[in-house]
Amino acid sequence: MKKVEDYVRSIPDFPEPGIIFRDVTTILQDPDGLHLAIDKILDSLKDADFDVVVGPESRGFIFGVPVAYAMHKGFVPVRKKGKLPCETVSMEYDLEYGSAVIEMHKDSIKPGQKVVIVDDLIATGGTTEAIIKLIEQLGGQVVKICFVMELAGLKGREKLAGYEVESVITYEGN
């Protein structure tokens, strides 16, 4: 039986020499790969007590919505600045080269709600750290964070210390 990592395409020397790019699109393109990835996330949440799934655009939507649907939970999108139509809260965070701003609707998380974050990849952890800050600013409690892939060499888990983090696949390098 195939594992999720069997569906990941590895591209050497992209975006620069010495880097191996782990391409999640090959999981998405294969019905068995996509099904397996979603099932693995669902398995990791089978004992979790939570109210809502939060996912950042765009691949957090791809993996988070089917998880929310299967577990009969709501889904809250996290978007780039200026993409949400109602009143928002925002958080700036650092990227490898520069910074970015993400937003959530101000009324998307209710005080006391238990939240699971779902995304495709954890690298440095900056995006997820910003999402946690937004959720907590709105009064939510992050109970678990699930990723399809983790690049352990970039030490993103260190930024998420104190939170339960689970990855379907872990690559030791970066």
- Which residues are catalytic, by number? 59, 96
- Strands, DSSP E only, in the chain? 9-12, 20-23, 52-56, 74-80, 88-95, 98-105, 114-122, 141-151, 165-171
Per-residue tokens: 147: 């990723």
Share in percent of the chain as helix, strand, coil (round to 5): 30, 35, 35
Q: Enumerate residues 6+ apart whose C-beta is below 8 A from 26.
A: 7, 8, 9, 33
- SS3 label, residue 104: strand
Order of strands, edge to edge, in the sheet holding 114-122?
Answer: 88-95, 98-105, 74-80, 52-56, 114-122, 141-151, 165-171
